[in-house]
Structure 1
Amino acid sequence: MWFYQDDLLTLFILKNEQYIKVNKSKLLPELNIEVLNKYINYADQYDAVTEFINSIK
């Protein structure tokens, strides 16, 4: 489960009927959430996407 709260994206998994915060997505394990969070609140979406793509190359 992904949550966006207080300008931050956090990920959780359900394990033993409890949600536990994780650093990687099972669906997108190569996606660096810390890097994504740097660009998630940019005022200009184009700049955010461009800089995010450049940062992961």
Structure 2
Amino acid sequence: MKMHFYNGQEADKVATQFFKYYYHDRGKMKWSGFLLSEHTAALNKEIDKEHNDNPQK
């Protein structure tokens, strides 16, 4: 199998065709059940704030 390399114009054409006819975005199914990095960062920030506001004795 030989690797085919495209110039910029050909690459745009191939990508446009791929996304128009072949790509199916699964939306939420892609990440369902997983937390995105932005979510975990926000949760960690909130947890840190709670721990700083209410230090254990």
Shared fold, TM over 0.5:
no
The structure with more strand, counted as a fraction of residues? 1
TM-score, structure 1 length as denominator? Answer: 0.21
Which of 1 and 2 has greater Rg?
2
Larger RCO, structure (CA 8 Å, separation 6 or more): 1
TM-score, structure 2 length as denominator? Answer: 0.21
